[in-house]
Each structure stands twice: as C-alpha cells, then as structure tokens.
Amino acid sequence: MTPSSRLRVPLGLAALALVLTACGGAEPEESPTTSPAPATTAAASTAPAPRTPSSPARTTTSAPASPERDAASASSVEAVGAGETPAGSSATTDAPASASVRATAAGEAETSGPAPTSSRAAQRTATGGSGEGAEDTGRPSSPAPSTRAASTSTAAPTRTAAPPRTTRPAPVAAEAPASANLGGSKAGVAPADTPVAVASTAPPVVEKVSAAEAAPKAPAAPKPAPSAPAAAPSARPSASAAATSPAPAPASPTAPAAHADPVAEPDVDCRVTRCIALTFDDGPGRHTGRLLDLLSEEEVPATFYVIGRSAELNPALIARMAAEGHQVGGHTWSHPNLTTLTPEAVTEELRSTAAAIRAAGAEPSTVRAPYGALNEAVLAAFGTVPGSGSVTWTVDTRDWEHRSPARTLAAVRAAAAPGGIVLMHDVHSSSVDAVPAVIGHLRAEGYTFVTVDTLTGGVPSGSTVRGGVHP
C-alpha cells in the first residue's frame, strides 16, 4: 500500500463517523420547556386515532401545538363566544353556555363565568397570551410570538352579539284592528311593545255644545179635540170678551226639561235572545242631542264611548245619557293611539276621562281604545283602572270615512249578527241621519237592542271583548 492510500483510509473513516453521528447519533437530553415528540407522531399524521362515543374530541389534545392548530383553536373559541358553533367542532359539548370568552376586538360582547379547561389553551392564544381570564394548567408557557402572530392573522372574523333593542318594532298594520290577528294573545291585540298602525290619526273635533242643542226636543203638542162650531164672530169683539180673554204666553227660548223619560232596557237573556248593541264614539257633540231624541222616540238603549275633554265641556249631555237609560263608557281624554304611549300615560287618559264622567253625574263602565288600537301593555294598564274592561266591535260601519247614511245602513245589513256590537259616531250628522233606518232594519230582523253591559254580562278590567253572548 502506498503512503497516499494509507492516508485515505483514516480520512474516510473519519468522514463516515461524522455522517453516522449526523444521522443516527444520540439526541441531547430533553429540555423541560420543549414538548416531547412521541414515537407515534408519524403514524398519527397519516391515520387519525379512533374516537369513542363516550370521549368526544376536545379543543386541546396531547399532540404538540403548532401555529396552524393554535389559529384554528382561536377561531373556534371566538365563534363560540359570539353564540355560534364552528363546523366540525365539538364546541357544543366542550364549551357550555356559561363559558367565559373575552373578545379582543373593540366593541365585542363579553360573557362572564369560568372558562372550560378544554379551551383554555386556545383562549390564551386568542387573547394574545395575556392570560386575562385564563388559569395556569401546568403546561408550558405561552406560545412564541410567531404563534400569536399566526393566530391573529388567520382567525376567522367573529359575529358580534346583537345589541339589546332600544326602539320599538315597526307598527303592525291592520285595516280593522278590532278583528285582525295582530300577533298578540287575542284577536285585535298586538304584542306588548308593538304599536298598531291606524287608518287615520286625526282626533275628532272637541267643542262646547249650546244649551239648546243639548236639551231634549219638546214633545209635540197633542192635537185639540174637535169642538162644536162656534157662532160667527162679530165684526168687533165686545168689551167684556176682550176683558176676559187671557193674553197668550210668550214663547220660551230655552228647553222645557233637562232630559226625556228614561228608556226601559228589556229584561232579556242574550244567550237565548237575538241581542245587539248600538255604540257611538267620539262624543258628545252638537249632534248628540238629536241622537238622544231619536233613541228616546224609538225606545232603544245605546252605549256611548265619550272623550274626556268633550265630557268636561258638555256635562249636561253626559247627565242626559245616564238619565235616559244609556250606558256611558270612556274613550280616553284626548283620543290618542294608546299603543304609542307609556303605561303611565295610558292610565292617566283613562282616569281623567272617568273623573269627567262622574263629575257630570254618570258612572263610567267599560272603555273603548281609540282606533281599536290595542296591545298587551295597553290591556295591562286597563287592568289598573276600575271599570275599564275593553270593548271593540263586530260591525264597523266606517261612517267617519264615507259620511253616507246609505253606506252605513249597508254595512249593518252585511255584518249584523246575534251578540253583535255596531260601531258608529254621534259627532257626524250623516251618522245620526242613518239611525232610524238602522233601527228599523234590525228590529225587522228580530233583534232586541241592549247596552254593552247587558250584551256581555260585564267586562273585567284588563280584558277585552269583541262581541257579546248570543244563542
């Protein structure tokens, strides 16, 4: 062997030793802060371990953490904090509703309560390793800055929780609020915080009625009985005849009486009798006196739902309604849409109206909400005022809209039924003009006229009725 060959052998052995050392040499001693690499890592990467039904997958596993895994965990925790469950995760099982997830973005919602141990590592990743709201589990310290950066850049956007509703929902539109299904507990009643849209918000005219318009019409004088023909008068009356003839009394410009004779309401059982109630809203007004005259002539009792301001201005008409056998109910003080008011304002509308009715000498019974606009909060307010059972209607003549006696009568013909409540308005002359024909038609159909209290048997405060009892 030549000298050069002898030199190559040791050099080759040294190179081989270096290669063996680099490929299969002994590993350095394991550091306590470095996650151990299990021998089955390669197998786990190709074939996932089977999951038993009793052990659902957790957010954290015994596998070593990686930036991609930490980012996915952060996305999962943030989604659960916003009230969502990420696809393919077990957040529903591992993160109960009482979990504490503090969002890092400004303006996101924060829930209170202890954080579940299965998502604490991911929580620390989502909060940038600050440790706020997290507990020490004895595992290695917070991830490296590179892991936090990857988590921040790859986290899925979260959906913030909806803020509490501070404004009322859109009004419930209904052409006939008294009969429409508005979503509340009863027909014609909307949910507590839902206003009811009305066809017209213009309140009726409030005015003071003159004493002549409020007073009853004087009864017609009976025709004198025919007498024997008198002797032909002389051209000039004698002095004795002139002296004994009484002078004619001057005509009185005022009404002769405060009210007419009361209408006797029939003593009937509306469960076996075809009863119906005529009701009149928005008064008293300048046509109310004429309506009372017609009802007295026909001997028909009715129910009046009066506005408090008008009742205060016209106490004589309120007193006359009660004295002539009619029922008087409240229609609020100023005719607002009650579903747009606070419960305190609703209560004040009822109480002030009831006080005006009592001051005039009548006792209020039942209430009709203006426009028939009712929700559950309004009914609850009605329950705090005695005598404030809610009454709507079954026959809406819409006389305020068309101002036609013929159309008013047509509406009654089309919708009248036993136990019915007819809605009209005594503040319109055309409505009063329609009353004789309406009474004639209903009477020909076999109906008996009664007040609302008789028709319903009474309505407790805080409840509402649309009609009465019937056969």
Task: Based on the residue annotation, tell me whether 441 is a catalytic residue of this protein.
Answer: no
**Rounded-to-integer distance, Cα 462 and Cα 261, Å:** 34
Considering only 32-41, 128-137, 188-197, which range has the smallest mean pLDDT?
A: 128-137
Compute the radius of gyration of the chain from its Cα atoms: 44
Per-residue pLDDT reduced to its tens digit, 437-464: 999 999 999 999 999 999 999 999 999 9
**Which segment of 98-107, 286-295, 418-427 scores lowest on mean pLDDT?**
98-107
To the question of pTM greater than 0.75 for the whole model, the response is: no
The DSSP element (H or E) to which 276 belongs, if any, is strand 275-281
Q: Report the pLDDT value the prediction gives residue 3, as an integer from 0 to 100.
A: 58
The whole-number pLDDT of residue 1 equals: 55
3-state secondary structure at position 306: strand
CA–CA distance, 223 with 374 (Å, rounded to integer)? 53
Q: d(Cα 412, Cα 61) in Å, to the nearest integer?
A: 77
Contact criterion met (CB below 8 Å) for 339 and 375: yes
| pLDDT band per the 50, 70, 90 thresholds, residue 283 | very high
Residues 6+ positions from 425 with CB-CB distance below 8 Å: 204, 280, 281, 282, 283, 399, 400, 431
Question: Does 237 have pLDDT greater than 70?
Answer: no
Which of 326, 331, 335, 425 is catalytic? The answer is: 425
The tokens describing 319, both together, are 């007193």
- Tokens 């106490």 map to which residue? 315
Confidence tier at 37 by pLDDT (50, 70, 90): very low
Catalytic residue among 70, 281, 396, 399: 281
Pick 225 or 426 by higher pLDDT.
426
CA distance 341 to 218: 44
Token pair recorded at residue 271 = 């469960």
The three-class DSSP label of residue 331 is coil
Instruction: Answer yes or no: is pLDDT of 15 > 60.
Output: yes
Domains of the chain (ranges plus CATH)?
66-95+116-131+147-152 (no CATH), 200-210+260-465 (3.20.20.370)
425 included as an active-site residue: yes
CA distance 405 to 411: 10
